[in-house]
Amino acid sequence: MNFYPGPSKVYPQVKDWLNEAYQNDILSIQHRSPKFMSLYESIVKNLQSKHNIPKDYTIFFTSSATECWHILNDSFSTINSYHFYNGAFGKKWLDYRKANYSKTTFGVEFGVNDELEDKFFQQIPQNDYLPNIICLCQNETSNATQISQKRLSEIRQERLNDFIFVDATSSWGGQNLNFQDADAWFASVQKCFGLPAGLGVMALSPNLIEFYKNNNQKIIPKRYNQFSFLIEKANEFQTTYTPNVLNIYLLSKVMEFVPDISLTSQKIEKRATSLYSFLEENNYKLLIENKKMRSQTVFSIELNEPKLSFLKEEAINNNIILGNGYGKWKTNTFRIANFPQHTDKEFEVLKRFLM
């Protein structure tokens, strides 16, 4: 039972889908072929219908969420980018951009128990003619915090002239997100999509694409992952380079298999409430004390050595994989994933182990 928060447990059906991919010759199809384009289109339609992604949003594939950071950084390097972060992954996104575009990159750090209040946005100028970029981690996997959907909607209304980019790596596919609240959403499939690592997904608003086209008309594609080239090929249900066809096929099977995101989200939230109550009742110290900031898909529990190493070793002896801590919390926390592919039965086994 793998509760690592990514790569995590894959759907058990993956075994059958892998055999099916081989039998149907998916592993050698051309990424310009009608067969691949049909596969791509089926994923887009299922993401639109089951995850409530607006039909005018453009969806394309990358190698990972990390690559999405770089694509967005390079494509909008001349616009001021404000990165709000309280953990390791938000900080990495900031650092990667700052290394190349320091003059237009700004970081705003807030505490793990701090809600992202209006005061944090006061330093960002409002401009009707030149938008800013606001970068957020909806779920910060390193410390198990989240920005609630309600708060994301409020930020959208407060910053109508700005573009909002959201790293939803640990939530897309597990939580019912309102995609209209941001202009770029991205994730990797090794978490809530229940698949092996090696594929990223990005959804872009028509406003962002129109702005890019109006301000970058003379740019000729020089890189395979250049924004204009990605959009051009996505409109044809193709990729700019030979992609991870197997994982794209597996994603198509997942999107056929999973129910509407509203049902999945209800299951995730119910299980999260149960697990948080269990941990507190059994005297585990949660890293995040502010309940409004607690992630629904990742849990972080404080535990010092030598108890931490002992617990993880005992877990392995019981065929349970717990997640290590990450970043500044690496040596004093462990993490638990709550993804759609996990079962209630597995969580009951985990609770018995932790008692």
Q: Which residues of the chain have pLDDT under 50?
A: none
Quick: pLDDT tens for 10-44: 999 999 999 999 999 999 999 999 999 999 999 99
pLDDT of residue 221: 55
- Cβ distance 245 to 36 under 8 Å? yes
Whole-number Å distance between alpha carbons of 249 and 247: 5
Q: Which helix (DSSP H) or strand (DSSP E) does residue 201 occupy?
A: strand 200-204
Contacts of 37 (CB under 8 A, 6+ apart): 236, 237, 238
Whole-number Å distance between alpha carbons of 339 and 298: 8
Per-position DSSP letters for 133-198, written without gaps between them? EEEEESEETTTTEE--HHHHHHHHHHTTTSEEEEE-TTTBTTB---GGG-SEEEEETTSTT---SS
- Cβ distance 80 to 106 under 8 Å? yes
For residue 294, the SS3 value is strand
* Backbone φ and ψ of 288, nearest 5°: -100, 115
Q: Which helix (DSSP H) or strand (DSSP E) does residue 350 occupy?
A: helix 344-354
pLDDT of residue 139: 97
Burial pattern 269-300, b for ≥16 Cβ within 10 A else e, equals: bebbeebbeebeeeeeebbbeeeebbbbbbbb
For residue 317, the SS3 value is helix
pLDDT of residue 127: 74
Whole-number Å distance between alpha carbons of 293 and 312: 26
Domains and CATH numbers, the chain: 14-257 (3.40.640.10), 261-354 (3.90.1150.10)
pLDDT of residue 126: 78
**Reported pTM:** 0.96
pLDDT of residue 111: 95
Kindly report the CA angle at 242 between 205 and 200, in degrees rounded to 5? 40
pLDDT of residue 167: 98
